[in-house]
Every structure is written in C-alpha cells, then in structure tokens.
Structure 1
Amino acid sequence: MQFGIATFLTDYGIEPVDLGRAVEERGFDALFLTEHTHIPVSRRSPYPGGGELPRKYAHTHDPFVALGAIAAVTERVALGTAVSLINQHHPVNLAKEVASVDRISRGRFELGIGPGWNTEEMRHHGVDPARRTAAMLERLAALRAIWTQDEAEFHGEFVDFDPIWSWPKPTRVPPVLIGGGGPTVLDRVVEHGDGWIPLRLRLSELDAFAARVRELRDRSAGRYRSVTIFGAVPTPEALESYVEAGADRLLYALTDQDGPGARDATLAELDAFANLIN
C-alpha cells in the first residue's frame, strides 16, 4: 500500500513549493492536485457535495504549473492530477504541459483525468456536456499520439490536426488514471486507462467497491491496473478496510486552510496523516 496527499492548492493556502517539500520529507509516496480552470458565477450546476460550493474551487493554482515547481524541489514523490479536466485543454497544448512536467520530475508524473461535473464550466470551453466522456477519451487518444509519434496527426470528431512536431516527449507515456465511480467507469479503465481513481468512497460502500476491484482485475487480462482512492478516511480501521478491498494507494485530502496560520495548520495535518500511516 502506498500513501499520498490530494489537495485543492489555492492562492490563499500553503505555497506549492512548501507543500511539495513537506509531503516528501514526511515520507508520503505521492502528491496529487485538483483542477478547475474557473467557476462560472451563474452556479446553475449543483455542487455534488451538497450545499454551497466551497471557496477553494475558484482559487486553485493551475496544477501543471504548480507541479512543475514542486518537481524542481523534490526527488522521489510521485506527482499527479486528481483529476485534470482534459476537455478544457487543447490536446496539443496539454501534451506539451504534461511532457514538460514529466521531464522536469524525471518520470514521476501521473495524469488523472475526468470529464467533470460543472456543465457551465464545460460550455465556456466549447464542450457539449452530453458528449463529455466521448470527448475526454478522444482527447486522451490524441495526447498519446503526440507523446509517442515524431510526426503525430489526429483526425477525430472532437480533435483534428495535421502532422505536427512537438517536443519534449515525456520520459515515458505517463500513467493515466481514470476518475469516476459510475456504472461504466470500469469499461473506460480497462479500455483506456492504466489505473482507476474513485473519489471519496464512503466506508459503507467498501464491500461494493471491493467487488468492483475484483472485476477490474479479472477484466484486465494480465495487465495490472492500479487503484488509487481520492479522499481516503484517515483512521486505522478504514486503512485496514481499504487494504482488504484491494486498493493500491490512498490519497488523504487536506483541509482547506486560510489566513496567517494556513501553512502551520497544513503542516500539522500532514504530521497527523504521517503518524497514521507510520
């Protein structure tokens, strides 16, 4: 079992470089950042967590810029997105951003992806919410073409470009973790992903989750696909349950901190998580 941290890295909380160093110094295996390019003021899309949308959603750093800075001051910790809304990026630009972070980190980057939930945010980027999953998978295919071909081209429904030159190439094709928990998510993981990243599982859902992990492994035909849980419950009992369910990595979510004491409060929370896993 590996252990990591997931967070909404904001402009009012701990600085990216401070967080990256602190995560690595405490022995965690991974640091994953969330992504929203912006939040529409209309707020017509209901917050999936219920109630008012937390402030942090509109204040996140660009994850690729932040992870590039973190990569430069760390040596070991895996760096990733949980999750990147890749429909809101042109694949040509995103391929270069991901490859750059991967090169700076010397092959430590993992790309967690999802279609998103905020339909107004999608529409601002020209994405049809009804086709968001299909668009996501096509963009992923375009990314892989750019990463692996010296003269990549792609002609699809959502992405279309003639042969291009685009370097740097990543040190490897970055592992892609497919986000989500819906009835068809395992189809996407098996067909398009290197791993699965379900979000915030309730402990009451772990029996059903364990059955899905077994299904994923049965369907993977000898190719191992990792399972990373975003927002793991930070208790010893939960940790044991996650192990029994077949998870490979747990990401503990940091509390949103603001004000003069934000940095110290975040470091104290990291210490508490480190004590739990050690």
Structure 2
Amino acid sequence: MTPAACLTAGLISYNHEEDTMKLTNFAGLALACLLACNVAGLAAPAAAQAADPVQAIQSAADPARLQSLLAAWQASSDPDAAFYAGLILHNLAIQDAARWAESAVASLAAYRGGRYAALALAYRGSAVTLLASVDNQRGNVVAASSRLNSGFALMDQAVLLDGQDLAIRFLRLENGLAISETTPFSRQPAITADLQAIGLAEASLDPASRALYYLACARLKLLQRQAAAALACLYRAIDCAPQSAAGRQARQLLARLEE
C-alpha cells in the first residue's frame, strides 16, 4: 500500500491475484467527509458565520450538541429544516454510520428547498457512501460496492448543478481520493477537475482549507507517481496551516515518504 493509502486508513483493499474487491475500512472516507465539512463557510466574515445555520452545525463536533441541534431542526417549520437535519445526521454518521447514515440519506432526499439543492445532493451522496461501510460490516460487499457507485453518482450530479460551490468540490474530492488510493478504480478525472476548480479560488480559502487543498494535490501526485511534486505540495500544506488537521496529515505523510 502506498503512503497515501496508509493516510486514508484503507477504505478498500484489492486482491489482484483473486481479482476481487473487499471493503475493509471506511475510516479514511469518514475522515475525508469530516475534513470537507469545515469548508462550508469559506472566507465568510465571523459575524456572517455565526448567523449561518450551516456554519453552526459544522462547528459542532460534540455528538450531544449535534443531537440537540437535530431535535431543534426536526421540529422546525423552516423550509430548509430537512437539509439542516440531514447535514447534522450526516456528521453524526461519520462517527456512527450504522445508527445515523440511513436517516441522513432520508432527510436529505426529503429536502425540497432550492437554497441548498446542490449541497444537499452532495451530502446525500456522501451519506450513501457511509451506508456502504455498514453493508461492509455486515459482510455484504456487493451491496457496499453498489452504494459507493450510487453515492459518487449523486456527488457528480451535485457538481453539475453547482460546480462553483467549493464545499461540494472538497467533499467529492476527498471521497474520490480515498477511492482512487485504495481500489483499482480511478476517480482521477473528477479529482483533477475538483482541484482545478478549487485552485482557481485559492485566494478565497482560509489557511486550513488551503492546507487541505495542497494535501489533496500531494495525494494526486502520489497516485501519478510524481514523488518530487508530491513533496512540494506537502511542504505547501504544512506552511499554510501546520496545526490544522490537513497540516498534521501532511507532516505524517511526509515522514512516511522520507523513511
């Protein structure tokens, strides 16, 4: 397994001798989703973020706090309540997919508002991929593989609806990297498209999101066996935000590459 595959904790392993795919560990995908959650309020002023329900949800890491927010939105008549509830359920599913992922998919599928149509589709796709981990744990690899395909199809549709939304781009990017690093299937065309779109908006990214961007660039370069370019991107990621989650991952990956 490549260092990049180690970084994502082995979403799927592939047995080339038997030509079979076995889903083994979705920790990498869950981490990818969690990292992508943090870019929904890119470069927004602090006051605007405080008034934004999405930002309030994304900044709530504690399950008890998330469940409190969930109860409030499920009881709300706000036209976007189903989206907010689905987003909370998605984030809870990152921590416990068996308990929350199915409800996340249902809530996001029920959303009929226009404000978050594309973002709801993207998070619904991500929640479907989290459901795949549940299928895997139950030994149903065929169903898990099918859900992965369905989840990516939804994320692709979301990009077609609103390719300028960087939260959608980051979410699809992280999921695509995890799959491409650890399976025989490649999402490199979509990964490249997402990196290009994010790169055009780099000036608007906060330091942590910029670090995540350069970490993703490094992971793609490793997939392409361009070690020197990958190292350069890792150093950029660390320089952008050394104490961020992406900065710490970049240091870990750099240490592996330099062993």
TM-score computed with the length of structure 2 as normaliser:
0.29
TM-score by length of 1: 0.28
| Larger strand share, 1 or 2 | 1
Structure number having the greater helix percentage: 2
